[in-house]
Amino acid sequence: MAFELVDILPALPELILALVALGLVLVAAFGGEGAANARRVAHITMFGIALAALTLWSSAPVQNTAFGGMFRADAFADYMKTLVLLGSFAAIFMSITPLARDDINKPEFSLLVLLAVVGMMLMISANDLMSLYMAVELQSLPLYVVAAMRTNSLRSSEAGLKYFLLGALSSGMLLYGASLVYGFAGTTSFAGIAAAVAEAQLPVAFIIGMVFMLTGIAFKVSAAPFHMWTPDVYEGSPSPVTALFAIAPKVAAIALLLRLTYGAFGSIALEWSQVIVALSIASMVVGALGAIMQTEIKRMMAYSSIAHMGYALAGLAAGSKEGAFGVLIYMTGYVFMGAGSFAIILLMRRDGQSATRISDLRGLSKTQPMFALGLMVMMFSMAGIPPLAGFFGKWYVFLAAVNAGLVPLAVVGVVMSVIGAFYYLRIIKIMYFDDSDAPLDQDVPLANKLVLGVSMAVITLFFAGLGSLIDAANVAAMALMAPF
Amino acid sequence: MIDNWPILSIITFMPLAGVLFLLLIRGDNETVAQNARNVALWVSAFTFLVSLVILIGFDNAVTGYQFEEQRVWLGDTGISYHMGVDGISMPFVLLSTFLTPLAILASWRSITSRVREYMIAFLVLETMMVGMFVSLDMLMFYLFFEAVLIPMFLIIGIWGGPRRVYAAFKFFLYTLLGSVLMLVCMLAMYIDAGSTDIPLLTTHEFAAGMQTWLFLGFLASFAVKVPMWPVHTWLPDAHVEAPTAGSMILAGVLLKMGGYGFLRFSLPMFPMASEFFAPLIFVLSVIAVIYTSLVALAQSDMKKMIAYSSVAHMGFVTIGIFSLTEQGIAGAMFQMISHGLVSAALFFCVGVVYDRLHTRDISAYGGVTAVMPRYAVFFMFMMLASVGLPGTSGFVGEMLVLVGAWQANTWLALFTATGLVLGATYMLWLYRRVMFGQVVSAEVQAMEPMQPRELGIFVPLTILVLVFGVYPMALLDVMDVSIQFILDDLAAGGVSLLAAR
């Protein structure tokens, strides 16, 4: 098979990012130590991401494959990649000043994040067990390193190590499951697996393999009961890193799960949907109950993200086009809610030190009214109160769940969302009903203001743009369901 | 020309335009506060004037919805931007736009901190209330219905009394829990009917078994809102802690959302389940009427007493609605409007003396009549209206509900009538303890007489209560066709109506 340039063109955005990353290795190595170089690398990274996004949007989404069928480009991939690029762009944008203030002047940070972004993009386009595993590893390895970025902090090292150990375990499970699936299907391509499961009787070994694979990805999604690492890693990592973890990797992992379940295992939805239902319920319960007792806002956000993944999985469990559609809408809101919330968490500093206890927000509505308003909007949206974005996500995932006959799942979900509302309200209470004892630092970087402003606008006006968003999500969901 | 204007959208979103103005105000604290008060008052007063257009243009003889607007919202998914009013919702729209400027006026002096935010919360609240009553799409209805929680949570939590945090959380979570169960039912209805359009859902026939579940889901939400016994416990807390204006709107409009929901959704969409569950509603309502009246008797806090009396009065409303008779439903509607005016006035009565003495404890008062004679007149009038004195609007509503209840079940009417007696007992006793007798303390003696601003709030309320009491047809004519429509719909849905027997 002769190599032709046309074969790799559908992966152009990924290629651009990879090339920028390679170039940045040189810049990072020879650009000198210190804040200036770190800033330069961050700016080039943002430029690279913007370039990749423009490339992505410049061509109409057509179903196409590259690298001999291992890579799939379609409307679904474009939709999810847009979210990943937005999320990681915001995370890097907001990280520049806080990292400099914390004296983490490492140019490698942005570089590693960029490599992880390439991994996430490849995860979304994975069309083969081989590319799936490679993409997952490419995404994970840089993130292990950035979690431990604050080398003088024990907690940060602990976070990195914990993340690495559990991540390695989950990769092992994924790999083991993949080998069993390969053993049954005789091929690693999703198309081949889909054809094989549609025809033959399913042996127990295949089911075990499938469950192992789902488990491995559930680790990456941080769905309960595979969530244990999440609160510790969120808390221990430097805040800008947490902001990164909370947004883009979740989108990529959910996209990968959709690819695998709707693509490779599309015809046996009954088999995997029970697993997803169990994961979904467990995540919603653990997320809602676990967050109540937290005093550290990053730990609370960790539990909150576990709960959000539970809601997204509720849509996925439906196994229908509506389900995929619901997940897409949900993740769209999730990216902006996450970016907006972390824009404020990143500015929680007092006397130059990071102050991320929930009680540090006390009286924020008096000292910094606009930020308090912003965080309030984010919290109400996460609680799923209309007319904000979070509500519409819940509306569509539960619509799919009820439509698929999963009414008990929907009832558990909405009841858990009420319990969840309690801890989101608690943040609002602390900001608005309590008085401040020591105000937070007033010096807020422009990046946070911009990200917060955009997120607030998107979340409050979500209902107005929903008409066009559902068209895009519909096309994407249809592309996901389309045969190979 | 005016027929082509999207008048309902204008009324709904005009307060939000006021919010933009409020955000633009600059200056020192005192200037901002005073300007915020003025802007909020003018915007809400202007909204009320515009809403009079619907009153004037409303045709009592038309079945179905008027001033309808329908636009594309979510493509061809059966969810659209759809607004309209009929005889059921039109009075509530006017009630909302009427009470909001009065509530803003009532907080003129009593709210001194974060005035701008307070006024923003009230204007947002007005948009949500009006939007909920004019929505003809179930999803839109739910958006407004739930979004009301956000400003109310903040109003109670920021400007409330000492236990405001507890009350705000209880209010929010209680209501939310009920609403999310309704949400699941709405999803099921949307899937079954393929649309969230309310007029379309009204004609859609849901299977009998499904109706049962849907009814229970909606009941979970509306029962909390009304509130019905035993899910009423959030109400006394919320009322006691809320600022005066918050209580006025809460009792005046928010409690009516439940009753409105029953009339808009439960009866027309689940007729069989409504008939089946009517006895359950009767039992709960009778308990509400008698039990909460007794509880009201035992209160030492004025606001708490009026809050409990609200639960009892709303018990009348649910009895009237589920008597499934013309008189009962008309009485329930009348009672809701009347209670909206009277309870708002009563909470303001408490607010007037609270502003002066800073306590709501009944025992701290006594002999107020001697100090504030004009106030005594208004308080007495509203107290008697609450009791149901003929000539006031309270009488008409309770009378019609009793007639409806009598047709449904004689015992029901008997127990319901007990509530009237108990209501008279606690209200008269309250009035005697607060207003009559010797002036109990120097503080009471020093209370300043009513200000023109306070008079300006009492007078319009009094006039309306009197007008509806003397000439009830003003309101009954508006609702008549729509109530008839609900009854026809019930009959078509397989309910054997009492009137037909």
| Inter-chain residue contact B149 with A399, CB threshold 8 Å | no
Chain A CB within 8 Å of residue B143 CB: yes
Q: What is the pLDDT of residues A303-352, one digit of tens each?
A: 999 999 999 999 999 988 899 999 999 999 999 999 999 999 988 888 87
| Inter-chain residue contact A429 with B157, CB threshold 8 Å | yes
Task: Please say whether the beta carbons of B125 and B151 come within 8 A.
Answer: yes
| Degrees to nearest 5, angle at CA B199 with B195 and B204 | 65
Chain A CB within 8 Å of residue B16 CB: no
Task: Please say whether the beta carbons of A283 and A364 come within 8 A.
Answer: no
Amino acid at B302: M
Residue B213: closest C-alpha in chain A = A407
The DSSP annotation for B103-124 comes to HHHHTTTT--SSHHHHHHHHHH
> Judging by DSSP bridges, how do beta strands A71-73 and A349-350 pair with one another?
unpaired
Amino acid at A53: A
| Degrees to nearest 5, angle at CA B49 with B48 and B51 | 65
CA distance B472 to chain A (A): 38
| Inter-chain residue contact B157 with A433, CB threshold 8 Å | yes
Q: Which two tokens stand for residue A377?
A: 């909007």
How much is the ipTM here?
0.90
Between CA A226 and CA A170 the distance in angstroms is 9
Most A CBs within 10 A among B23, B137, B143, hence the mutation to make, goes to B143
Q: What is the pLDDT of residues A82-93, one digit of tens each?
A: 999 999 999 999
Model pLDDT, residue A82:
94
> Residue B220 contacts by C-beta under 8 Å, 6 or more apart in sequence?
B177, B178, B181, B182
Place of tokens 């950035």: A146
Between CA A289 and CA A311 the distance in angstroms is 15
Q: How confident is the model at residue B1 (pLDDT cuts 50, 70, 90)?
A: very low
Model pLDDT, residue A455:
94
Task: Please say whether the beta carbons of A256 and A214 come within 8 A.
Answer: no
Model pLDDT, residue B500:
41
What single-letter DSSP state applies at residue B301?
A: B
Task: Please say whether the beta carbons of A472 and A76 come within 8 A.
Answer: no
Q: Prior bond to A225 cis, omega within 30?
A: yes
Q: Prior bond to B230 cis, omega within 30?
A: yes
Between CA A183 and CA A192 the distance in angstroms is 12
Task: Please say whether the beta carbons of A13 and A73 come within 8 A.
Answer: no
Given a cut of 80, is residue B139 above it in pLDDT? yes
| Degrees to nearest 5, angle at CA A269 with A268 and A271 | 70
Question: What stretches of A126-189 show up as alpha helix (H) in DSSP?
Answer: 129-147, 154-185
Instruction: Decide: residue A141, CB within 10 A, 0-12 exposed, 13-18 middle, 19+ buried.
Output: middle
Amino acid at B68: E
Model pLDDT, residue A240:
87
Place of tokens 């170089």: A37
Between CA A376 and CA A437 the distance in angstroms is 20
Residue A467: closest C-alpha in chain B = B74
What single-letter DSSP state applies at residue A10?
A: G
Considering CB atoms only, which of B72, B143, B172 is closest to A387? B143
Task: Please say whether the beta carbons of B176 and B149 come within 8 A.
Answer: yes
Given a cut of 50, is residue A429 above it in pLDDT? yes
Given a cut of 80, is residue B313 above it in pLDDT? yes
Residue A466: closest C-alpha in chain B = B74
Residue B140: closest C-alpha in chain A = A387
Between CA B97 and CA B94 the distance in angstroms is 5
Least confidently predicted of A291-295, A407-411, B148-152, B370-374: B370-374
Q: Which is nearest to B479 in space by CA: B468, B466, B464, B492? A: B468
Q: What is the pLDDT of residues B65-93, one digit of tens each?
A: 888 888 888 888 888 999 999 989 999 99
Between CA A16 and CA A23 the distance in angstroms is 11
Between CA A28 and CA A51 the distance in angstroms is 20
Q: How confident is the model at residue A101 (pLDDT cuts 50, 70, 90)?
A: confident
DSSP-derived 3-state class of residue B62? coil
Q: What is the pLDDT of residues B226-281, one digit of tens each?
A: 888 888 999 999 998 999 999 999 999 999 999 999 999 999 899 888 989 999 99
Phi, psi of A73 (to 5 degrees): -110, 130
> Residue A200 contacts by C-beta under 8 Å, 6 or more apart in sequence?
A184
The structural domains of chain A, with segments of one domain joined by +, span: 5-481
CA distance B130 to chain A (A): 15
Exposure letters A49-65 (e unless 16+ CB within 10 A, then b): beebbeebeeeebeebb
**What are A's interface residues with B at a Cβ cutoff of 8 A?**
369, 380, 385-387, 391, 395, 398-399, 402-403, 407, 410-411, 414-415, 417-418, 421-422, 425, 428-429, 432-433, 463, 466-467, 470-471
- Give me the mean pLDDT over the A113-123 stretch: 94
Between CA A81 and CA A83 the distance in angstroms is 5
CA distance A467 to chain B (A): 4
Which residues of chain B are within 8 Å of residue A429 when distances are taken between CB atoms?
157, 165, 168-169
Which residues of chain A are within 8 Å of residue B217 when distances are taken between CB atoms?
none
Task: Please say whether the beta carbons of B258 and B271 come within 8 A.
Answer: no
Which residues of chain A are within 8 Å of residue B183 when distances are taken between CB atoms?
395, 398, 414
Given a cut of 70, is residue A79 above it in pLDDT? yes
Given a cut of 60, is residue B488 above it in pLDDT? yes
Between CA B40 and CA B119 the distance in angstroms is 6
> Residue B212 contacts by C-beta under 8 Å, 6 or more apart in sequence?
B270, B273, B276
Given CA atoms B135, B139, B145, B147 in this order, what sign does their dihedral have?
negative
Model pLDDT, residue B92:
94
Provide the CA B401 distance to its chain's centre, in angstroms. 17
Given a cut of 60, is residue B498 above it in pLDDT? no
Phi, psi of A299 (to 5 degrees): -65, -40
Considering CB atoms only, which of A417, A422, A471 is closest to B75? A471
Chain A CB within 8 Å of residue B440 CB: no
A128: which strand partners? A189
Chain A CB within 8 Å of residue B149 CB: yes
CB atoms closer than 10 angstroms to residue B380: 15
CA distance A338 to chain B (A): 20
What single-letter DSSP state applies at residue B323?
A: T
Given CA atoms B395, B400, B402, B403 in this order, what sign does their dihedral have?
positive
Between CA B366 and CA A67 the distance in angstroms is 89
Residue A434: closest C-alpha in chain B = B158
| Inter-chain residue contact A398 with B184, CB threshold 8 Å | yes
Most A CBs within 10 A among B29, B146, B176, hence the mutation to make, goes to B176
Task: Please say whether the beta carbons of A412 and A284 come within 8 A.
Answer: yes
Amino acid at B146: E
Which helix H or strand E contains A221, and what residues bound it?
helix A204-221
Given a cut of 60, is residue B439 above it in pLDDT? yes
| Inter-chain residue contact B149 with A422, CB threshold 8 Å | no
Phi, psi of B71 (to 5 degrees): -135, 160
Q: How confident is the model at residue A137 (pLDDT cuts 50, 70, 90)?
A: very high
Q: Which two tokens stand for residue A453?
A: 């402003």
Considering CB atoms only, which of B73, B74, B187 is closest to A402? B187
Given a cut of 60, is residue B224 above it in pLDDT? yes
For B324, left (φ over 0), alpha (ψ -120 to 50), or beta?
Answer: left
Q: What is the pLDDT of residues A162-218, one digit of tens each?
A: 999 999 999 999 999 999 999 998 999 998 998 888 887 888 899 999 999 999 999
| Inter-chain residue contact B184 with A402, CB threshold 8 Å | yes
Between CA B418 and CA B286 the distance in angstroms is 9
Place of tokens 């959208």: B9
Q: Which two tokens stand for residue B346?
A: 């009563």
Chain A CB within 8 Å of residue B184 CB: yes
Which residues of chain A are within 8 Å of residue B72 when distances are taken between CB atoms?
467
Between CA B383 and CA B432 the distance in angstroms is 11
Least confidently predicted of A376-380, B55-59, B285-289: B55-59
DSSP-derived 3-state class of residue B234? helix
A73: which strand partners? A64
B80: which strand partners? B72
**Using CB atoms and an 8 Å cut-off, which of residues 88-117 of chain B contact chain A?**
117
Model pLDDT, residue A6:
66
A–B CB contacts, 8 A cutoff, strictly below: 82
Q: Which two tokens stand for residue A131?
A: 């590319």
Between CA B54 and CA A183 the distance in angstroms is 72
| Inter-chain residue contact B150 with A380, CB threshold 8 Å | yes
Q: How many residues does chain B have?
A: 501
Model pLDDT, residue A484:
65
Provide the CA A391 distance to its chain's centre, in angstroms. 19
CA distance B189 to chain A (A): 10
Provide the CA B94 distance to its chain's centre, in angstroms. 12
Between CA B201 and CA B426 the distance in angstroms is 43
